[in-house]
Structure formats: structure tokens, C-alpha cells
Amino acid sequence: MMNIPFGDAKRQYDAMREELDAAMREVFESGWFILGEQTRRFEEEFAQFCGATYAVGVASGTEAIRLALLASGITAGDEVITVSNTCVPTVAAISAIDAIPVFADIDEQTFTMDPTQLEARISPKTRAIIPVHLYGQCTDMIPLLEIARAHKLLIIEDCAQAHGAMYHGRMAGTMGDAAAFSFYPSKNLGAFGDAGMVITNQEQIARNAKLLRNYGQEMRYIHRIKGYNSRIDELQAAVLHVKLPHLNAWNARRREIALQYHAAFESRGIRCPLEAVGREHVYHLYVLRVPQRDRFQVLLHTKGIQSLIHYPVPVHWQEAYAECRSQGACLPVTERGASEILSIPIFPELTDAEIEYIIQTVIETYEDVS
Ligand SMILES: *Cc1c(COP(=O)(O)O)cnc(C)c1O
């Protein structure tokens, strides 16, 4: 029996140890740890990778969403439409500025925001939409952009799971007014701690985000607005600079593994994730939908395969968001999906033998529970 973890940051470190150690040592020896040359260079490289004009390094993905909202002029009492089947931080960033999260249901096939459910959730207080490019696949942005334009709403893309994902030739994060990325260690591009990035083509948003992350400070001791301390570390920027050139190859490897899974599972009737036409999925997660999910998961674990659920409890069911619970009536697809989804390991360093073991074991377990 094999033992396969859900993710393994150590394998990636081992493969690039010398380069990473040298980059970190360079920071230690420079004696400069906050907002310096490493940050400036990585911001420039990441903006270029995405095809955006501006990139602003911040403390985390959650902070990237929060600062992007604030930098775009969203304030307390504004309604922001997003989805309920997301990582809680998407919504935490909205509530952190006392804006009001409103949930639109998701599309049955892609698990991303269903644009046809959007218009009914718009009120006179709605100011912005946060589509979450969940699991590594872009939301259907063309209809969404049209609705946003018609109602004069801002779009902040949550790209925490979608570094390098494409939508009809456009890069995730470049379709809305601004976008937020997370470099949490397990993301497709991960730091050695917390880090995040706001990208935008709008100078005003970039300028505001830069002020907000650094106590509202324009130059030393001159504070133009009330701000925060929410900066990316030089150390994380140095690590991410080393890793960024590998991102395309890592995403390609994830896609290759997904293709193997798909080919093996689909013919057995196992419900695989769908890559919608015109979208290039980067498979941050590979999410199956299985009957008797909880039993399925226990069986997989006894056979040495770690799996996770993204996410077992939609945000509107969380105790912290009890005030949102009544919105569940509008979210039938979200509620149904939460009991079926299961994420199996997909990361670039999986070996071919491990992939084969996962395929055989998932098929065998599926037959057991069916
Ligand atoms: C990881 C994640 C975040 C939050 O990022 P942090 O860097 O952990 O703050 C936000 N949204 C989604 C969809 C995520 O997956």
C-alpha cells in the first residue's frame, strides 16, 4: 500500500533547495526585510506574468481582497455579491470592511458563480461582484462583465486558486477592475508563509492599495489616508521570485495529471470536474463528485490516500455568518454540491506510480460504494 499526502511542500523545496536557500540568504545578508528591492522586482515580474499594469504585494490573499475592495472605493454598508461555496476568507474580506456579503448560486458543472443567478441578487446597495475562480477554473466572465457594466458594478476577481488560469485567451485577474492573489504555501504559487498580491490596470486602485498597505504613507512620515500594515515580506518576495519561472510548468503538470484522471474515471461513470469551453483550468484542486462521499473518503484514507473537502460547510451555514443563513433559499446548487464533493491529491510532484495508485484506488473504491 502507498501513502499519498494531499500535498507535499517539502518535495518542491527539495527540488529547488539551492536556489531558494541562496535567495533567502541574500535577503538575510541585505539586512532589508520590508518593502525593498525584492518586493519591487517580484511585483514587476508578477504583473508581467499576468499581463497587468500594476501589482501591489500585500500580507495575504485575504488582505489582497480587502485592500482591493477598499482601494476601489467600497465601504461599510455596500453590498458585495460573491459565492457561498468558497474559502471563508473571500467573505471575511468583505465583512472586515463592514460591507455586506450577498451570495449568488453556482453553476452545476463548474462550481463557479452562475451569471444567470446574478441579476436577482442585485439591489440599489450593490457595488461590487467578487467572482471566485474556484479550484483553478475561471468564472464565466463574459456575461458577468456585461451585467457589471449594465449595473455599474465593480469586479474584483478572487484568483487565490487560479494563478495562470485562462478564459478565452485572457488571464485570470485581468478581466475585472482588480484581482486578488494568495501565495499561501499550498496554492499553485506558494510562499514560505503568508503573502498576497493585488493586480489592476487602474492607476488609482494601485496607488490606493500601496497607501493602504503601508499606513497610508505616501513618503516617509507623510500619511495621506488612514491605512494599515499589510505588506508582503522581502523574504517571501525573494522566494516567489525563484518559484515564478516554474509556475507554467507546474500548471502544465497539474493539467497532465487531470487529463490522466479524467481518462480513467469518466468511462467508469465517476463525475469528474468539467473544463468549460474556452477556459484553461489550472487544477489547484481536482474535485470529484461521489455518492456516499463520507464513506468514500474513509475508504480512501484506509487505502493510504489523503483527500479533503472544499468546502464541507458553505459560508452561509457557518456560525460566524449566521446572518446570511436565510440566503440559502437562493442557493440550491451550492447546498446540494457540498455533500458530494471530494478533492483528491493533485500536485506537480506526484510520481507516475502515485498517480497510477490513485487512479486504481479511486476506481476500486467507487465500485465498492456504488
Ligand atoms: C486561499 C484563499 C483565499 C485566502 O488567501 P490567504 O492567503 O490564505 O489569506 C481567498 N480565497 C480563496 C478562494 C482561497 O482559496
Instruction: Specify the CATH class of 247-369 in words.
Output: alpha beta
Q: Average pLDDT in the 314-332 region?
A: 96
Q: How far is the CA of 87 from the centre of ligand 1 (A)?
A: 6
Ligand 1 nearest atom to the CA of residue 62, by list position: 9
Instruction: Report the percentage of the chain scoring pLDDT > 90.
Output: 98
In contact, 171 and 191? CB cutoff 8 Å = no
For 9-103+113-245, the fitting CATH number among 3.40.50.200, 2.40.50.140, 1.25.40.10, 3.40.640.10 is 3.40.640.10
Closest residue to atom 7 of ligand 1, CA basis: 61
Question: Which atom of ligand 1 lies closest to the CA of 183?
Answer: 7
**Which residue in 160, 152, 138, 142 sits closest to 73, CA to CA?**
152
For 8, residues 6+ apart whose C-beta sits below 8 A from its C-beta are 347, 349
Please, where are the H alpha helices in the chain? 9-15, 17-30, 37-50, 61-71, 88-96, 141-151, 203-213, 234-243, 247-266, 293-302, 332-337, 352-369
By most ligand atoms within 8 Å of CB, the mutation choice from 58, 60, 62, 82 for ligand 1 is 62
**Do residues 223 and 203 lie in contact, with contact meaning Cβ atoms separated by under 8 Å?**
no
The domain segmentation of the chain, as residue ranges, is 9-103+113-245, 247-369
Which DSSP category does 106 fall into?
A: B
Mean pLDDT of 277-298: 96
Which tens digits make up the pLDDT trace of 5-42?
A: 999 999 999 999 999 999 999 999 999 999 999 999 99
If you measure from the C-alpha of residue 187 to the centroid of ligand 1, how many angstroms do you get, rounded to a whole number?
9
Question: Residues lining ligand 1, judged by CB closer than 6 Å?
Answer: 60-62, 86-87, 89-90, 132, 158, 160-161, 182, 184, 194, 196
Residue 116's SS3 state is helix
Q: How confident is the model at residue 181 (pLDDT cuts 50, 70, 90)?
A: very high
Element of type H or E holding 197: strand 196-200
Tell me if 56 sits within 8 A of 204, measured CB to CB: no
Question: Do 150 and 122 meet the contact criterion of CB atoms below 8 Å apart?
Answer: no
- Is-contact 115 144, C-beta < 8 A? yes
Q: Is 3 helix (H, G, I), strand (E, B) or coil?
A: coil
Distances (CA, A) of 114 to 161, 178, 216, 352: 18, 20, 37, 36
pLDDT digit string, tens, across residues 33-63: 999 999 999 999 999 999 999 999 999 999 9
pLDDT of residue 370: 86
Phi first, then psi, for residue 57 (nearest 5°) are -75, 130
- Whether 9-103+113-245 shares its CATH topology with 247-369 is answered no
Against a cut of 0.75, is the pTM above it?
yes
Question: Cα dihedral angle (33, 34, 35, 40), rounded to 10 degrees?
Answer: 40
Which triple of cell numbers denotes residue 167? 478564459
Task: Using pLDDT thresholds of 50, 70 and 90, give the confidence band for residue 295.
Answer: very high
Cα 354 from Cα 306, distance rounded (Å): 12
Which residue's CA is the nearest one to ligand 1's atom 1?
Answer: 160
CA of 239 to the centre of ligand 1 (A): 19
Catalytic residue numbers read: 187
Which residue's alpha carbon is at the smallest distance from atom 6 of ligand 1?
Answer: 61
* Residue 96 near residue 77, CB atoms below 8 Å: no
Its sign, for the CA torsion 165, 170, 174, 175, is negative
C-alpha cell at 138: 475561471
DSSP 158: E
Mutate to test the pocket of ligand 1, among 66, 87, 134 (most ligand atoms within 8 A of CB): 87
How many angstroms does the Cα of residue 185 sit away from the middle of ligand 1? Answer: 11
Q: Is 317 helix (H, G, I), strand (E, B) or coil?
A: helix
pLDDT tens digits for range 195-233: 999 999 999 999 999 999 999 998 899 999 999 999 999
Give the pLDDT band (50/70/90) at residue 67. Answer: very high
284 CA: nearest ligand 1 atom: 15
**Confidence tier at 291 by pLDDT (50, 70, 90):** confident
